[in-house]
């Protein structure tokens, strides 16, 4: 299927995609903060600069977009049909980086919790999962 916008428009759209302070990330931070969890953001001294770092629990929370991190089983995690080779390579490299960073964090003694963008559709369930996993520390 051909792209429905011009190359220039697509370039502007892609340029606007942020890597920090995305809407899903801000929503997860708001949920945690409202429940009394205190955290730091994007710590440069940790592998991959995790989105949320909860030192008290020796845990990090990675907020993944379903498309950009290819959430398997999610309708938003599907690779586009146009320019498929490019997207497969890009998403494969993102998944490899996620795995390397997660392993490096675990080796340093940090627990890695992943929140997928689609999980925000049910915030109470997401918050319950995060509280359960953090309190299990």
Residue pLDDT, tens place only, 83-94: 899 989 999 999
| pLDDT of 7 above 90 | no
Phi, psi of 83 (to 5 degrees): 55, 40
For 48, the token pair is 């991959």
Output DSSP code: residue 30.
H
Supply the pLDDT for residue 114.
97
Residue listed under structure tokens 């369930």: 125
The pTM is what? 0.84
User: What is the rounded radius of gyration, in angstroms, for the C-alpha atoms of the chain?
Assistant: 16
Decide which of 3.30.365.10, 3.20.20.70, 3.40.30.10, 3.40.960.10 is the CATH code for 19-32+53-124. Answer: 3.40.960.10
The tens digit of pLDDT for each residue in 40-77 reads 999 999 999 999 999 999 999 999 999 989 999 998 88
The number of beta carbons lying within 10 Å of the beta carbon of residue 126 is: 18
- Residue 29: its H or E element: helix 23-34
Give every strand in the sheet of 40-41, ordered side by side: 40-41, 52-54, 59-64, 111-116
Residue spans of the domains in the chain: they are: 19-32+53-124
Would you place residue 36 in the very low, low, confident or very high pLDDT band (cuts 50, 70, 90)?
Answer: very high
- Residue 60: its H or E element: strand 59-64
Quick one: which of 73, 75, 47 has its CA closest to 62? 47
Q: Distance (Å, rounded) from C-alpha 84 to C-alpha 45?
A: 35
């Amino acid at each position: 299927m051909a792209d429905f916008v011009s190359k220039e428009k697509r370039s502007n759209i892609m340029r606007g995609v942020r890597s920090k302070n995305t809407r899903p990330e801000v929503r997860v931070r708001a949920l945690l903060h409202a429940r009394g969890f205190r955290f730091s953001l994007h710590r440069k001294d940790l592998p991959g600069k995790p989105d949320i770092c909860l030192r008290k629990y020796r845990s990090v929370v990675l907020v993944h977009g379903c498309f950009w991190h290819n959430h398997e089983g999610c309708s938003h995690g599907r690779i586009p049909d146009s320019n498929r080779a490019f997207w497969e390579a890009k998403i494969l490299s993102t998944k490899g980086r996620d795995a390397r960073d997660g392993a490096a964090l675990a080796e340093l003694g940090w627990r890695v919790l992943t929140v997928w963008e689609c999980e925000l559709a049910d915030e109470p369930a997401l918050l319950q999962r995060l509280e359960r996993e953090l309190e299990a520390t």
